[in-house]
Amino acid sequence: MEFKKGFKIKPKSIKRTGEVIFTDGTNDVFANQKICQEYGYNYDTVSGTCYAYRFNSLIEKRGKNLDNKVSGKNNTTSTNNRRYKQKYIYYRRKQ
Q: HEC profile for 12-70? A: EEECCCCEEEEECCCCEECCCHHHHHHCCCEEECCCCEEECCCCCHHHHHHHCCCCCCC
Residue 1 in contact with residue 31, Cβ under 8 Å?
Answer: no
Q: How far is residue 45's CA from residue 36's CA, in Å, rounded to a whole number?
A: 11
pTM for the whole structure: 0.57
Please write the tens of the pLDDT for every residue from 80-92.
555 555 554 444 4
Q: Report the pLDDT value the prediction gives residue 86, as an integer from 0 to 100.
A: 52
pLDDT bracket for residue 77 (50, 70, 90) = low
- Average pLDDT, integer, range 33-61: 86
Q: Report the pLDDT value the prediction gives residue 2, as an integer from 0 to 100.
A: 78
- Average pLDDT, integer, range 63-81: 61
- Average pLDDT, integer, range 45-67: 74
